[in-house]
A and B are shown apart, each in its own frame.
Chain A
Amino acid sequence: MKNTFIGLATAALVALTGASTAQAQGQGLLDTIITRDSLLCTGHNGSYLGFAEVDAAGAWQGFDIEFCKALATAILGSPNKLQVIPVSWAQRFPALQSGDVDVIVKVTGWTQTRDTELGLQYSRPYFIGPFYVMAKKELGATGIADLEGGVFCVNAGTTVERVLTDYMASKGIQYESLAFEKGEELRSALYAGRCDAIAGFGPFLSATRVEAPDPEAYQILGDVLALEPEGIVVRQGEDDLLDVINWTVSALLMAEESGITQANVDEIKANPPSPTIARLLGVTPGVGTRLGISDDFAYNVIKAVGNYGEIYDRTVGDGSRYKLPRGLNNLWNQGGLLYPLVLD
């Protein structure tokens, strides 16, 4: 998503590399991954709250990392056949083009330039990234409009600044903006009472609130400043790999929709309640071989990382320190925007 640090340089590099991409295309990337028996997925150069973190033992954790694990399991049968390559925001597209990574799972927004000029291809969104405003509770605001004339703190030079400006201009709300270079400075300013509200990416706001001296003093307002659909990214032309990614994400969502969890997947596989679920878990063969992977890929994935809801809960949701509400990232029948594809 954010941080356009040397973004121009990246774009130029990628443009430069566009030509040489073709040489790697004699064999599909999916076959290359299977031959290599390991999937190269993006990490972060540091930790990115809730999405790609390093734990005390130096192992990768987080929402994005779970999706890397799910893909490794779908293609190769085991979450351990994953190699996480640390890359910075600026480095992710060149790293993909040069083959340092096979896929980008790095809260990467689906924008037109990236989709076309940078020669990338996006999966269906696996996360809907909302930008929110978090305000001091004592102000009693129920929406952003109630904060007219207040001091809004944001990170300098990020998407957030633009998104907030756009939103406020369209609603005609007057406000004062204070920009900070680093997340830490922004937090300190908020805790010190210099800001009435801060705007930012949902997970960041949640983390800021959880870590506050008094978390109850702040509330995230319901108004969504902007949405950024985050997709998993592959190089243009890797259709086989993209199919696998889309159907893996879909399988995770379908598992949640049908109540299949990491704990009960064996039970359900032994006695599938419906023909669709029998197909999903590979009891009725077909779904995997069409993709060029094993028929029980969905079973393996659910066994390894759980369904979409479990992943969410464990890494950024109620089971984590961030307590990020499901909101738009819920299933369609729970008031969210996510839905599985049709498995026939």
Chain B
Amino acid sequence: MAETMPDTLIGAMAPPVIRSGPAAWLRKHFFATWYDAVFSVLFAVLIVWVLQALLQWTVIDAIWRVENRDLCTREAGACWAVIESRGRLILFGLYPFDEQWRSTLACLAIIVTIALSCLPAFWSFKRLPALWIAGFGIFVLLMRGGFAGLPLVTSEQWGGLSLTLFIFSGVVVIGMPLAVLFALARRSSLPVIAKSFGFFIDIVRSLPLLALLFAAAVVVPLLLPDALAGNKLMRVVVAFAIFFAAYQAEIIRAGLQSIPNGQGEAAVALGMPYWSRVIDILLPQAFRNTLPSTINQAVITFKETSIVTIIGFFEVMASGNAAIGNGEWGNQYVEVYVFLALIYFVFVFGLSRYGAWLEQRMRLGHD
């Protein structure tokens, strides 16, 4: 055994350099070369500077209470006093002050309805419509009142966040089934139906939303008798829903076209009736394939609801503008817009995260 032992040790190699730990990580990602280092330092300084200025403005120098209103100058930080003073106007619009608890409850009812309908447990042809009828029913009863001692509040006085949510959910809930209908009709084997729906979709898409809403609010009552014209808010929601449906129909059509023909043909060969083919085979796949664009469309629609201000509805954005449109708070527009942006962010971000969760649940992009 001893013979096999070498007389001398082979020159020992240096131990490997440890490439782990925070220092090494920093070095690898930020200071690998001299220009990496320069940029890293530069951007670090910039980020700290911006964050510090932001913190200074939003928190440290900010004026929070209305009694300190006079300290709100352009040199001072954010004047959040405007939110304390005008916050209820932003959130409730023209809704009568003493009745605003009803608007709060109605708002919660819609949020709960939206949240519940996001749960897969509610996705059936019986539960989903029942849920939305209940949700809208509670909303309208609370907002409108006129029974059990609740004073009547007409829809002209509805406003703020609850109106924004009402318009958004109304548009999506009415628009989505319409979109499915449009998409199926456009792919119909009867040329008359396919052509005319294709034409209709193209017409709606080539009209500006503003013109469509304006016509619904102003022109329709001139052309129809009072009984048929209905209330202004309803007309506007329906017109908006048709607009939404025209876009969403094309998204769904794309989803339908992505399904191989063989599937539909196999179903026909098995003798499945048309609606069963559509509901059980085509639509689930079409929705799954187009989920990212559908969420996209929902997000766009949420933001577009602010356009109803042009026909005199005080949704949350118009209420925000009303809040700064007076001599006292006219200069605090940045604070009010930041507040509005936060409101929009909460809802839109929630919507996108929900979309991401759905995608993961369906394991989209993994097969």
Q: Which residues of A contact B (CB under 8 A)?
A: 5-6, 9, 13, 16-17, 20, 43-50, 53-59, 83, 85-88, 90-91, 94-95, 97-100, 184, 187, 191, 207, 210-211, 213, 320-322
Contact A95-B218, Cβ < 8 Å, known A90-B310, A184-B333 = yes
Shortest CB distance A18–B (Å): 10
- Tell yes or no: B6 within 8 A of A by CB: no
Residue of A nearest to B87 (CB): A56
Shortest CB distance B324–A (Å): 7
Partner of B95, one of A50, A58, A86, A90: A58
Contact between B75 and A86 (Cβ–Cβ < 8 Å)? no
Contact between B219 and A88 (Cβ–Cβ < 8 Å)? no
Report chain A residues within 8 Å CB of B330. Answer: 49, 187, 207, 211
Contact between B214 and A53 (Cβ–Cβ < 8 Å)? no
Contact between B211 and A9 (Cβ–Cβ < 8 Å)? yes
Contact A6-B210, Cβ < 8 Å, known A91-B312, A187-B331 = yes
Contact between B326 and A88 (Cβ–Cβ < 8 Å)? no
Shortest CB distance A143–B (Å): 27
Of the candidates B93, B96, B333, the one having the most CB atoms from chain A within 10 angstroms of its own CB is B333
Residue of A nearest to B93 (CB): A58
Partner of B89, one of A58, A94, A213: A58
Closest 5 CB pairs of A and B: A47-B325, A321-B327, A46-B321, A86-B312, A57-B97
Contact between B97 and A59 (Cβ–Cβ < 8 Å)? yes
Bound Cα distance from A54 to B327, whole angstroms = 11
Chain B interface category by residue count = 35 or more
* A-side interface mostly: loop
24 contacts between A and B (CB under 8 A): A13-B218, A13-B219, A44-B325, A45-B310, A45-B314, A45-B318, A47-B322, A53-B322, A53-B326, A54-B94, A54-B323, A54-B326, A57-B88, A57-B89, A57-B97, A58-B95, A59-B97, A86-B314, A90-B214, A91-B217, A91-B311, A94-B218, A94-B219, A207-B330
Contact between A320 and B94 (Cβ–Cβ < 8 Å)? no
- Tell yes or no: B360 within 8 A of A by CB: no
Report chain A residues within 8 Å CB of B310. Answer: 5-6, 45, 88, 90-91
Report chain B residues within 8 Å CB of A46. Answer: 309, 318, 321-322, 325
Shortest CB distance B104–A (Å): 14
Partner of B75, one of A54, A97, A213, A320: A213
Contact A98-B221, Cβ < 8 Å, known A47-B321, A47-B324, A58-B88 = yes
CB neighbors of A among B285-307 (8 A): none
Residue of B nearest to A19 (CB): B222
Contact between B214 and A9 (Cβ–Cβ < 8 Å)? yes
Contact between A210 and B327 (Cβ–Cβ < 8 Å)? yes
Contact between A211 and B331 (Cβ–Cβ < 8 Å)? yes
Contact between B218 and A45 (Cβ–Cβ < 8 Å)? no
Shortest CB distance B210–A (Å): 7
- Tell yes or no: B313 within 8 A of A by CB: yes
Contact A20-B309, Cβ < 8 Å, known A47-B321, A184-B333 = no
Shortest CB distance A208–B (Å): 8
Residue of A nearest to B226 (CB): A99
Shortest CB distance A188–B (Å): 9
Shortest CB distance B272–A (Å): 49
Contact between A88 and B311 (Cβ–Cβ < 8 Å)? yes
- Tell yes or no: B328 within 8 A of A by CB: yes
Report chain A residues within 8 Å CB of B211. Answer: 9
